[in-house]
Structure 1
Amino acid sequence: MLLALGLLALFGLWWLGRSGGRLPAGLVPKRLAGYAAFALAALLAFRGSLLPAVLLAGAGLWIVWTGEGLARRLARLLSALKPRRTARRSATVELDPGSGDGLVLAGPRTGERLSAVPRGDLLALLALCRGADPDGARLLEAYLDRRHPGWRVDAERDLDPRTGRPLDPGTMTQEEAYQILGLERGASLDKVRAAHRALMKRLHPDQGGTAEFAARVNAARDRLTNRHR
């Protein structure tokens, strides 16, 4: 009985809207019909008629939504659910003032501590920051100044004279790296570092060294250092 009365009330409100009947300002027929459906649904639910109550509540919701523009409401809902990029995620690196260490937030080493990233990869990350995250580049330069004081000189030596860009240690084979450093295959990390230091002393400009060979020595060191990670 109540369901029939509810449907009759909805029909009456629909007819009122079609016939040009007047309602108080701001109370359009569709909205009034929706509110009436909600009220009847609550009454039916209170009396234990759950299925008719659910049907009436659904009808009321549909009436209210279509009355205010279903497409517009759905667009607002989807916009609210869409994930938003935060300033933190747009950054490339993050430094911890307390420990002096940092965290890589973007790039090949995402999620790693800066202290665990080889110097060569830090320089590659710096090049990435300079193009996409100037603030991150400044933070990384400050970190390199503290942890690797000679990195600026090494970075200049690492430039390929033909392209003006850093040599990529990934393009050098392990065999080539061992030959450049004068080491046997399988040499320990300590031997790699010792050979690199000895060669770089001999390659100083005052000793007649060349920038091209110095860059290859640094690339060989980075190639073998990455192998030991």
Structure 2
Amino acid sequence: MPTLIAGAVAVFLLYMLLQMFRAANPVVLARAIKIAGGLIALAIAAFVGLRGELAVAIPLGIFGAGLLGWSPFGTTGFRNIGGMFAGLGAQRSPGQTSQVRSQFLDMTLDHDSGALTGRIVAGPQAGRLLAEFDLPQLTAMIASFDGESVALLESYLDSRFPAWREHAQGNGAGGQRRATANGKMTDEEAYQILGLQPGAGRDEIGRAHRGLMKKLHPDQGGSTYLAARVNEAKDTLLRTHNG
């Protein structure tokens, strides 16, 4: 009987963990897994080291410390090595972001982490961050937003609540409107979307577009709408250069 109860408890805990995993923010989840992996690797390295097996403990300890952000070659050692294989010296701007704005929302994509954040710019909740609201409150906003704002909100929900569409099917909150662009994209908007400074060259435009598409392409689980806006921004700026 105690074994049966323990088994039932284990199944329940496993089910709860799976539900938390499905609803977790992918960026936060990846960071948590990385930290947990680093701590586990350090713990195993310490245990093996105490047993005198330093040939195994030292590289395992370095690997665990690397997952936690430490590098024996300094803060940029591994990053520079990785850069040689990712574009042979292509410049990467830390802290770079992209911005997409609609009638109701101002969205920001962090290029380093891929995290998507948003702020409401019109309506009763103007000035508040989307992170302040839970899933039911966010899906309730869909009815009052225009098509472009709905598309941006859905992109944010896909990032923060990966399984939200399954829960929204019952009340029809998901994908009710088709996004429509508010006229022709300006050069200023295109630069903001690609995270570039005005006057950026063709090579910079191409690099920014490729980097963003790796994070946003629908085939990679990204946002169809944001990927389309990134493509439009690239085409807009290249037309300006060609003209």
Which of the two has higher C-alpha Rg? 1
TM-score (norm 1): 0.26
Higher relative contact order, structure no. (Cα contacts within 8 Å, ≥ 6 residues apart): 2
Q: Which has the higher helix share?
A: 1
